[in-house]
Amino acid sequence: MTVALDAGVLIGLLDPSDAHHESARRVFAAGIRFLVHPVNIAEALITPERAGRSLEAYEDLRRVGVSPADLGPNGPLILARLREKHRLRMPDACALAVAVSEDIPLVTFDKQLASAASERGLFEPLPV
Residue 126 reports pLDDT greater than 80: no
Least trusted range by pLDDT, from 16-20, 27-31, 36-40, 68-72: 27-31
Mean pLDDT value across the chain:
95
Q: Kindly state the percentage of the chain with pLDDT values over 70.
A: 98
pLDDT of residue 127: 64
Domains of the chain: 2-117 (3.40.50.1010)
pLDDT (0 to 100) of residue 30? 82
Give me the helices (H) in the chain, please: 7-14, 21-29, 38-44, 46-50, 54-63, 75-86, 90-102, 111-119
| Mean pLDDT of the region 97-102 | 96
Query: pTM, whole model, 2 decimals?
Result: 0.94
| Contact between 116 and 81 (Cβ < 8 Å) | no
What is d(CA 110, CA 23) in angstroms, rounded to the nearest whole number?
13
The pLDDT > 90 percentage for the chain reads 92
The whole-angstrom separation of Cα 111 and Cα 93 is 13
| CB of 16 closer than 8 Å to CB of 60 | no
> CA-CA distances (angstroms) from residue 73 to 26, 38, 63, 78?
34, 15, 28, 10
pLDDT tens column, 3-16: 999 999 999 999 99
The stretch 30-53 carries a mean pLDDT of: 96
| Residue 34 φ/ψ, nearest 5 degrees | -125, 125
At residue 128, does pLDDT exceed 90?
no
